[in-house]
Amino acid sequence: MPKNKTIRVRIAPSPTGPLHIGTARTALFNWLYARKHGGSFVLRIEDTDLERSDPKYEKDIIENLKWLGIDWDEGIEQKGYRQSERIDTYTTYIKMLLKKKKAFYCFHSQDELEQEKQEQFKKKLAPRHLCDHSENPPKSPAEKGIIRFRPPEKKIQFKDLIRGDIEFDTALLGDMSIARNESTPLYNLAVAIDDFEMNISHVIRGEDHISNTPKQILIQEELGFPRPEYAHLPLILGEDRSKLSKRHGTLSISWYQDQGYLPEAMINFMALLGWNPGDERELFTRDELINEFSLERVQKGGAIFNLDKLDWINGNYIRNMDLEKLTERCMPFLKDENLDKEYVKKVVALEQERMKKLSEIGELADFFFTDVLEYDKELLRWKDMKDEELSEILNKLENVLSGIDEKDFTKENLQKILMAEAEKLGDKGRLFWPLRVALSGKKASPDPIDIAVVLGRKRVLKRIKEARNRK
């Protein structure tokens, strides 16, 4: 990076669907680059596709970027950062190109273009359209035309900050379509104009845009725009190493939010999709990522999306989170506004070590929030335990626990009393397993003594009695 160069990067999603994890990863890499170098991060919305664009998707993009903590320095709060607000600007440049005869109307029909493509395919030629309408437009065109740009035949070379030197032969491009009409630019023209008008210094985007880069460079050269630096990120791949798609799972950021993934964990996980710090570390704070991030350590090969890895990272963040803060974040997933927060905090404290996602609190700890447990009586048995012994154990538990006052129903006291009773049996599981199931209705749960303390004496005795009477 040249010294004293002002860094300005951007993310430019189209509001044609919810924020995709690939777009979010690209936004993150741009944001990290800007924050590390004291630059500016710009959010603009590419909404010229009026048929597919929808305000609800723009709202989703904005809300989920904010949820992730990816903030922008300039963007849609200001006029001119939606393409739909920039029509006059595009029209000015399109008319300029038409007047200079660098652009022209093409009136070939879709059938004619498809026939041309098929003939090129048979001859094993690269598909391109060489239009004869630039000099000889039809007098009565059958279809409404589009605007094309004829590039000069030359080699386009640029240095990709991730992939090194890249070269394209413009002879393979043909006459590029750049606008539907004088007020509706197509992607490559709009991007070239927007990046220039917004003084974008670095274009950091997915490798699927590499083929667009020479087209945008040609437009920049024709319009006298300076060329930004380019860096093309590796694609995100599924575990089968094919391009990440819906068949690999849900891709929208809102789904991960709804599932109880933490924004801190999502940032950490996405940063590792194509970048590494050069060592074995996998957990980073946001500030550490800003300090460590560099395009030099972005890989060229595809980044594998591994949901198990995300679960592991998320679980680490949950385990290390302040209990008060974690309780606040868990409350919405319990879907009961009348729950006592101090009671929920005790439950969360028990489940914190086991949780991988916030949404699991409802499933892992449901027995804390209901008085009706659903489980089979067979689950109460420890190993080869018969009905008679099971009944004796449950009676013993009821008798022992009913003899403890509410004020003495503490972890230390219960541990002392119940451990003594378990040791008499020679196998502690013969006492503690039926107690675990009677209190939770589950095979896996926190320590039954911890459960008992949170539930309290009255509910514990009620559940033991229900277990004894279970058919």
Residues 6+ apart with CB under 8 A from 239: 248, 304, 305, 306
The single residue of 246, 335, 383, 424 carrying the catalytic annotation is 246
Distance of CA 154 to the CA centre of its chain: 40
Does residue 258 contact residue 335 with C-beta atoms inside 8 Å? Answer: no
Give the Cα separation of 52 and 174 in Å (integer): 28
Decide if 66 is catalytic. Answer: no
> What type of residue is 420?
A
The partner residues of 177 in beta bridges, in order of sequence, read 148
SS3 content of the chain, % helix, strand, coil (to 5): 50, 10, 40
Quote the tokens at residue 406. Answer: 């509410």
267 DSSP 8-state letter = H
Q: How far is CA 368 from CA 117, 337, 469, in A?
A: 66, 15, 20
DSSP secondary structure, 142-169, as one string = SS--EEEE---S-EEEEEETTTEEEEEE
φ and ψ at 2, to 5 degrees?
-60, 140
54 DSSP 8-state letter = -
Give the Cα separation of 459 and 373 in Å (integer): 12
For the annotated catalytic residues, the residue numbers are 246
